[in-house]
């Protein structure tokens, strides 16, 4: 069974809209894993805030029941997470200072993929996805917004090597998968309107999917 690693953004989006049962079904097909830092961000920290506690408890239940596993990085991969973070945060600079792009949670998620020998990352956040798939596109995005942002080609090449082979999917693809497999049928009719509503629900929970992408996909039905 292959492993799939989740970033906190995707696990929060999915559980926020009560689709966490989709992950339970997915866990019958693949091992679902998060690093400890993501456990902290999606359970420990929000569990102390009343407004977010219910969502944190939903994810906690998934961990307790064992269909999502929180995994400690081994020392070698903890070192890798530090290298990933250092390299990613050296790719761009402004006024001779590095432009900080990612944090520990994102770096640990990327290192956990390597530890598990996995290739699929579920992440709703935009920047890390662009770092993996289209770092030059990320530079163009930043250039359009930040005057004078420069890139370090050597660090970009190093990062590309570190992140090669990683395939990204988002909450939107998990919803599409669940829809096609009939997993949502206990609460939603299997029709285009339900699929559209479910995809927009995760979009409004922060999943970095565009309206155009949703419409293109809905065009298949």
Partner 1 sequence: MLKKLIQESESLRQLFKRNKHFKLKDLSRQLIEEAALSDDRLKALMALIAYSLYKLSSKGHITKNPKWDFAKKEILQHLDKAVQELKSKDFREFESQLRLAVESISRIDSEISNYAHSTFEKARAKLASNAYALGLSLGQAAALTGADKKDLLNYIGFTRMHDEAGVGLGIKERLKNLEEVLSA
Interface of this chain with partner 1, residues 161 to 180, rule: CB under 8 A: 167-170, 172-174, 176-177, 180
Please work out the total of residues on this chain that contact partner 1, with binding judged by CB under 8 A: 72
Q: Which helix (H) or strand (E) holds 103?
A: none
- Least spacing, CB of residue 147 vs partner 1, in Å: 10
DSSP secondary structure code for residue 74 in this structure: P
In sequence order, the β-bridge partners of residue 167 are 120
Contacts of 212 (CB under 8 A, 6+ apart): none
Alpha-carbon distance 55 to 43, whole Å? Answer: 8
The binding track of 81-120 with respect to partner 1, each residue x by CB under 8 A or -, is -------------xx-x-xxxxxxxx------------xx
Kindly identify the residues of this chain, within the stretch 126-165, that bind partner 1 according to CB under 8 A.
Answer: 126-130, 133-134, 137-138, 141-142, 145-146
* Touching partner 1, residues 3-32 (CB under 8 A): 4, 8-9, 12-13, 16, 26, 29-30
Least Å distance, CB 59 to partner 1, is 11
Near partner 1 in 52-71, by CB under 8 A? 52, 55
Taking the C-alpha atoms of residue 170 and residue 176, their distance in angstroms, rounded to an integer, is 10
Determine the Cα–Cα distance for residues 133 and 183; give it in Å rounded to an integer. 29
The most distant pair of C-alpha atoms in the chain lies apart, rounded to whole Å, by 55
């Amino acid at each position: 069974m292959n492993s799939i690693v989740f970033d906190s953004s995707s696990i929060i989006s999915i559980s926020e809209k009560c689709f966490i049962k989709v992950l339970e079904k997915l866990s019958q097909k693949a091992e679902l894993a998060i690093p400890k830092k993501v456990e902290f961000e999606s359970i420990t920290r929000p569990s102390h805030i009343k407004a977010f506690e219910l969502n944190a408890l939903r994810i906690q239940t998934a961990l307790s029941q064992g269909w999502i596993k929180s995994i400690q990085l081994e020392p070698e991969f903890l070192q890798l997470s530090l290298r990933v973070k250092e390299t990613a945060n050296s790719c761009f600079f402004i006024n001779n200072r590095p432009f900080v792009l990612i944090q520990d949670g994102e770096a640990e998620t990327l290192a956990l993929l390597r530890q598990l020998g996995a290739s699929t990352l579920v992440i709703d956040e935009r920047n890390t996805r662009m770092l993996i798939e289209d770092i030059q596109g990320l530079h163009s995005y930043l250039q359009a917004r930040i005057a004078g942002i420069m890139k370090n080609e050597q660090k970009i090449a190093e990062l590309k090597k570190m992140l090669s082979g990683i395939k990204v999917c988002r909450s939107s693809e998990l919803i599409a998968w669940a829809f096609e497999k009939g997993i949502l049928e206990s609460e939603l009719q299997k029709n285009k309107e339900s699929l559209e509503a479910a995809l927009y629900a995760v979009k409004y929970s922060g999943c970095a999917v565009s309206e155009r992408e949703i419409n293109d996909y809905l065009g298949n039905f």
